[in-house]
Structure 1
Amino acid sequence: MLNLIYVNFIYPGEVNGLPQKRIITSLDIGTSTTKVIVGELDRDGNVNIIGIGQSKSLGLRKGTIVDLDSTVRSIVEAVQQAERMIGIEIPSVFVGIPAAHVQMLKNRGVVAVSGEDKEITEYDYERVLQAAKVVAIPPEREIIQTIPLNFIVDGYDGIKDPVGMIGVRLEVEALILTATSTVLRNIKKCVERAGLTVENFILNTLAAGEVALSADEKELGAILVDIGGGTTELAIFQNSNLVDKIVLPIGGDHITSDISKGLRIPLVEGEKIKLRYGSALYRDEERSFEITTVGKEKVSVSTQKLTDIIEPRVQEIFYLIKKELLKLGYNEVLPGGIVLTGGVAALPGIAEVAQAQLGGNVRIYQPQFIGVADPSFSTGTGIIEYVKNNDLQGSVPVKSNKVIGFGLLAKLKELFNDFFR
């Protein structure tokens, strides 16, 4: 549960002469869990996580919506939790898109610098990115993101930000991300039925890489491995840019299913046992715990037996990862190493299994914000950081007429309201 020490409620008009704080809300609709994270940007541009909400995803299979009504209910439940926590209505969200629905292609855009003094402006910057979007894509796909990789001014390349430079001809090499139109429309429909609007769609692994990988790791070359419930997604970065992605139809739900079948218990209990006692490697200290099988029989199970069930599946995940990396020509681990994230990355011993299978340096990333310090929140916090770092729009806080908060926070707010009434 989020441990909020202090929440600053800022509403339009309450602070004269000072800019309003900006709210960025991420929506991560995963196969297992739907998460909403609310980030507040202070006046120095730092992000504070002020609210979270999460619910069980009931309408998805392997990252794809298969039941609209159930998905809407999951979104509403997660959003309401976050709204109760912070007392602010959430009008819009930035939505993460699974890599399985996204394709990447590179294209160039070229424009003549518009100003008489030939100084490149923000207007020229936007024009050249729009020019890069002029590319033939199948009718069933839409462009969701255009990422500049390299700017070229009058033939000189390797430029990261051309604004302010003098030149006649501005070019850009850009990475174009497209997604399946029907997938986007279904997600948008669910979000709108939940009473929200979609600000933008952002590739999950690109967002997670924003927080999980350092600038040096991206520059040297690193692989982000996001192991979720239904899928495992890889994002490969080199020279600070996203260059490849891999999606495997295997994840934490497969481990849960193995536990359920191996111990003859319901899936819900299998998930609880995985989180409480699970490990990808044998530990010296062996413990036992009691379960109730589907036949109502009480049985004592050792952690060693549980590891016997979990370890082969974890090894399979990394075997498949290595197989796909070899297909793409990555015969050696990149200098920046491998970073594990996603819910399954919290499984004890998983980094050691990954290192044994893949080689190289392996570490686990978890967000450093209070209340979301778990690898499963990497995508949600990454979306917020990506929006901030790329100067996308957020929303202005609006007073909520809904029930605010819970516990001590709610009581304190109610007392203040009564006092000033």
Structure 2
Amino acid sequence: MSSSDLIVSLDIGTSKVRVIIGEVQNGAINIIGVGSADSEGIRKGAIVDIDQTVQSIRNAVDHAERMVGIEISEVYVGIQGNHIALQTNHGVVAVSNEDREIGEEDIERVLQAARVVALPPEREIIGLVPRQFLVDGLDGISDPRGMIGVRLEVEATVITGAKTAIHNLMRCVEKADLQIAGVILMSLASGQMALTKDEKNMGTALVDLGAGSTTIAIFEQGNLAATSTLPVGGEYVTNDISYGLRTQTEQAEKIKLKFGCALVSDAAEDQKFKVVRMGSNVEKEFSQVDLANIIEPRMQEIFQLVRQEIIRLGYEGKVNGCVLTGGTASMPGVQALAQRELETSVRIAVPDYIGVRDPAFTSGVGMIQYVSRYMRPRAAGSARRAAVRKPAPASPSAAAKPGIFERLKRMFSEFI
């Protein structure tokens, strides 16, 4: 990797579209730009209106470009949803070098072999995550480059998704005049940022509390073991407030963000606010306790559904803790309520970077970390264009011979 590299992540959520620009300098990441826009055309995490979604992406990109003063040409896109499935597969190749030293080309070939799986016509491969490599039967190897061997194997998790959902997502990004550098599973990216090595090994549930959906990802033995999406989220809390206080959804959302509390016991009776009720111009006064009485039952229900889903996935008693991310996790009282309902230790993951210290940015920042660690190093030594380009004439070196990452991308392009 060059001494300075730029990576852009695009997180298309139900309530917000977020663009984060990360600068990687000698392995260290700095967040230099953030753009966000209200999400239109998305319902429960799925695209329901292409044109509205395209406009939301453009608005978020423009916001980020104005902040940093550069032009975004290429992005890494996050994907999630209940159509995502995981399956394990095995790849085997013979080491091609005469001296039997394992190189990049051998790793490329074994990963290609692991991607050969039988899939229904309506599904396709999004990505592949190596769990471990084996060299001549010796297992537990995380990076076999430079090792000597005759036979190279890989045990990998193949991430698949519904073609319709993937192609609609990519169509929206392309119509927004952006090139797609890669598609990344958000649960994987969030895990990269939110979880420690020990948490991944011991068994942890990463719960992303979004606006339209809640995504559960189980990590075990250092890898993503299972994932599931529930069609409930912060939007449902807003709807409950709207009905309970008889006010418009837009105002209910503002009240939730300013005065919302997930526990009645933590709410303050003297914290008052006024609401314009539907069908009249008369304002009525409510307290934070009134609001918490509406919020707590719905949040309680969401965590009960999360617990049932963990049991359904077969991880009852195997999860040693829970980590919360997503915009809804920042509401006061959520951590204590989750701890009570899930009956396990709970913490909230917040990115430790200036400008993005909010659980809502976990996925976007995680994508930048994931790319810099697992995807960009393959481009070392290549003249691949950065994810962001400044509006200046292209240098002649930009047409240099493509590197291994570029060849790998072309090879896998048929799957995406």
TM-score for both structures, normalised by structure 1: 0.88
Deviation at 1:397, TM superposition (A): 4.3
2:285 maps to 1:303? no
For the structure 1 residues 396 and 318, does the alpha-carbon distance in structure 2 shift closer, same or farther, using more than 3 Å as the test? closer
Contact 2:267 2:289 in 1 (8 A): no
| Per-residue Cα deviation, 1:372-416 (whole angstroms, up to 9, x for no partner) | 100001111111111001033672543238xxxxxxxxxxxxxxx
1:265 match: secondary structure = coil
- Among 326, 329, 332, which residue is 2:317 paired with? 332
Q: Match of 2:16, as an amino acid?
A: T
| Per-residue Cα deviation, 1:280-317 (whole angstroms, up to 9, x for no partner) | 01226321111111122200001101000000000000
Stretch moving more, 341-350 or 290-299: 290-299
Contact 2:33 2:68 in 1 (8 A): yes
Match of 1:400 in 2: 391
List gaps (5 residues or longer) in structure 1.
1-17, 402-421
Match of 1:37 in 2: 20
Contact 1:99 1:205 in 2 (8 A): no
For the structure 1 residues 233 and 19, does the alpha-carbon distance in structure 2 shift closer, same or farther, using more than 3 Å as the test? closer
2:362 maps to 1:374? no
For the structure 1 residues 37 and 129, does the alpha-carbon distance in structure 2 shift closer, same or farther, using more than 3 Å as the test? same
Match of 1:236 in 2: 218
2:304 match: secondary structure = helix
| Per-residue Cα deviation, 1:302-334 (whole angstroms, up to 9, x for no partner) | 110100000000000011111111122222252
Contact 2:268 2:289 in 1 (8 A): no
1:162 match: secondary structure = coil
Contact 1:21 1:397 in 2 (8 A): no
Alpha-carbon separation, structure 2, partners of 1:397 and 1:30: 22
Deviation at 1:242, TM superposition (A): 0.3
| Per-residue Cα deviation, 1:144-176 (whole angstroms, up to 9, x for no partner) | 111100111111211111111111111111100
TM-score for both structures, normalised by structure 2: 0.89
Identity of aligned residues (%): 50
Contact 2:115 2:128 in 1 (8 A): yes
Alpha-carbon separation, structure 2, partners of 1:99 and 1:186: 13
1:390 match: secondary structure = helix
Q: Match of 2:192, as an amino acid?
A: E
2:323 match: secondary structure = strand
Contact 2:11 2:364 in 1 (8 A): yes
1:101 match: secondary structure = coil
Alpha-carbon separation, structure 1, partners of 2:295 and 2:318: 25
Match of 2:89 in 1: 107
1:226 match: secondary structure = strand
Match of 2:408 in 1: none
Match of 1:161 in 2: 143
Alpha-carbon separation, structure 2, partners of 1:197 and 1:101: 24
Q: Match of 2:173, as an amino acid?
A: V
Q: CA RMSD in A?
A: 1.5
For the structure 1 residues 328 and 184, does the alpha-carbon distance in structure 2 shift closer, same or farther, using more than 3 Å as the test? closer
List gaps (5 residues or longer) in structure 2.
380-384, 393-416
- Among 249, 262, 271, which residue is 2:231 paired with? 249
Contact 1:20 1:396 in 2 (8 A): no
- Among 125, 136, 140, which residue is 2:122 paired with? 140
Alpha-carbon separation, structure 1, partners of 2:126 and 2:99: 34
Alpha-carbon separation, structure 1, partners of 2:88 and 2:387: 35
For the structure 1 residues 55 and 105, does the alpha-carbon distance in structure 2 shift closer, same or farther, using more than 3 Å as the test? same
Alpha-carbon separation, structure 2, partners of 1:100 and 1:331: 20
Match of 2:297 in 1: 312
Q: Match of 2:359, as an amino acid?
A: P
2:352 maps to 1:361? no
Contact 1:325 1:331 in 2 (8 A): yes
Contact 1:27 1:95 in 2 (8 A): yes
| Per-residue Cα deviation, 1:170-227 (whole angstroms, up to 9, x for no partner) | 1111100112112222111111111111111111111111100011111111110001
Deviation at 1:101, TM superposition (A): 2.8
Q: Match of 1:36, as an amino acid?
A: V
Alpha-carbon separation, structure 2, partners of 1:68 and 1:391: 29
Contact 1:110 1:172 in 2 (8 A): yes
For the structure 1 residues 38 and 29, does the alpha-carbon distance in structure 2 shift closer, same or farther, using more than 3 Å as the test? same
Stretch moving more, 158-167 or 245-254: 158-167
Alpha-carbon separation, structure 1, partners of 2:347 and 2:302: 16
2:244 maps to 1:262? yes
| Per-residue Cα deviation, 1:261-284 (whole angstroms, up to 9, x for no partner) | 100111111111100000001226
- Among 287, 296, 307, which residue is 1:322 paired with? 307
Alpha-carbon separation, structure 2, partners of 1:181 and 1:308: 42
For the structure 1 residues 355 and 201, does the alpha-carbon distance in structure 2 shift closer, same or farther, using more than 3 Å as the test? same
Alpha-carbon separation, structure 2, partners of 1:204 and 1:216: 20
Matches within 5 A, 1:40-51: 40-42=23-25, 44-51=26-33
Contact 2:89 2:157 in 1 (8 A): yes
1:250 match: secondary structure = coil
Q: Match of 2:337, as an amino acid?
A: V
Q: Match of 1:372, as an amino acid?
A: V
Contact 1:333 1:359 in 2 (8 A): no
Alpha-carbon separation, structure 2, partners of 1:187 and 1:223: 26
Deviation at 1:99, TM superposition (A): 3.4
Q: Match of 1:38, as an amino acid?
A: I
